[in-house]
Structure 1
Amino acid sequence: MRRADRLFHIIQLIRGRRLTTAAYLAQRLEVSERTIYRDVADLQTQGVPLEGEAGVGYRLGAGFDLPPMMFTQDEAKALVASVRMAQAWLDPALATSAQDALGKILSVLPVDARVAAEALAVYAPQGGLSPPAQRTLQTLREAAQERHKIFLNYRDLSEKASERTVRPLGCFYWGKVWTLAAWCEQRNDFRSFRVDRVTYVRRLDDRFRDEPGRTLADLARIDREWSHAQGWTN
């Protein structure tokens, strides 16, 4: 890759994330971190408002933008494949938005790239989430985004039923199963719920704020510590 192209890619990668580390950039661009540090310093000298520092991460300052790079045929194919798979496994609102976004992207591609992408021989037949599970997923996702507590009826793998009021923190896709990570107010602890085993869900008017020990970051930290204790990480 030419250096000019690499500099352009660095800006594109940084502007697509909240905080981007040199290690991430080096991995994506297949260069050393030392090269990334030098490239970032050169971009800053040229007036690109890259904020941050080595060892922490970088972000693009407000008010700076570049026109998007045109998609290659392989990138367009990857988008088509992703949206086709998403149709079966996303909730209805996101699936529709993904299809609409893909249509906008394909409409501005050169004819040869658009034809190649639409002819991609990768398909995702229906048979993913059931319609009830899709609607449940949408309710959970929207509640997590808008910070609303939810009430749900749940039936676990042993068919034991329970009622919970939880703070939805995030929805996770595990291949053929979606789970909700949440803070359960009945158990006063983190819990995960399989979306397809939620038999009833209702978004409550009550909102919640992040509290120490009850956030998604806290759950991730606990999981990392547990995995380390089990010897699953280095």
Structure 2
Amino acid sequence: MARTDRLVTLITLLRDGALHRAQDLAPLLDVSVRTVYRDMDRLISAGVPVEGTPGTGYRMVDRIALPPLHLSPAELDVLHLGIAIVSEAADPDLSAAAQTLARKIDMALPAESVAEAEAWKTALTPLANAARGLSHMANLRDAIAGRQKLHLTCRDVAGALEHCTIRPLRLASWGRVWLLTAWCESRGEFRDFRLDLIEAATPLPELFADEPGKRLSDRA
């Protein structure tokens, strides 16, 4: 039986809501118990509402299943913003639900090759506060659209304060992490700033135009 057909069969078997042990499912599918464990992990990773652990059994739980959705980049940004805010809620149940939702969304997104390896390195560092920095979002978006320079006050991951003048180029979210890509005039290089580490983003009375080597398309 092909793996796709096997996964569909597993879903059909689990829909009765009863607890099913991998030892009982394996002979029905003509596979090993270890293969059942792997298939269950695939179903759970894909967002199928299955709960259980190896050795105890698996069951389908009552969940809401949404049909495939096609989101615009702006809609996906809003979804990530909402998750970031709720994930910092004092209610532990809400926070946990927001984090599991974030993982499901990340797994559902198409894989993309990211040239900015340094951006990924920054994005994978732990967050002190995922929702912090939202207060700067409007200023940053306006500055990008209006091609206006900013005076940025921010902290590095160690907490050291820094001041710099930047040309804001792009806002992007990597899961729950928001990054501002900019040309830093203070250092003369492209940089990625975590929004949760920005203390202030002050618009300057100076606009900028595209210059070779300083455009987003020039980012290696």
Higher normalized helix content (fraction of residues): 1
TM (norm. structure 1) is 0.42
Q: Relative contact order: is structure 1 or structure 2 higher (C-alpha 8 Å, sep ≥ 6)? A: 2
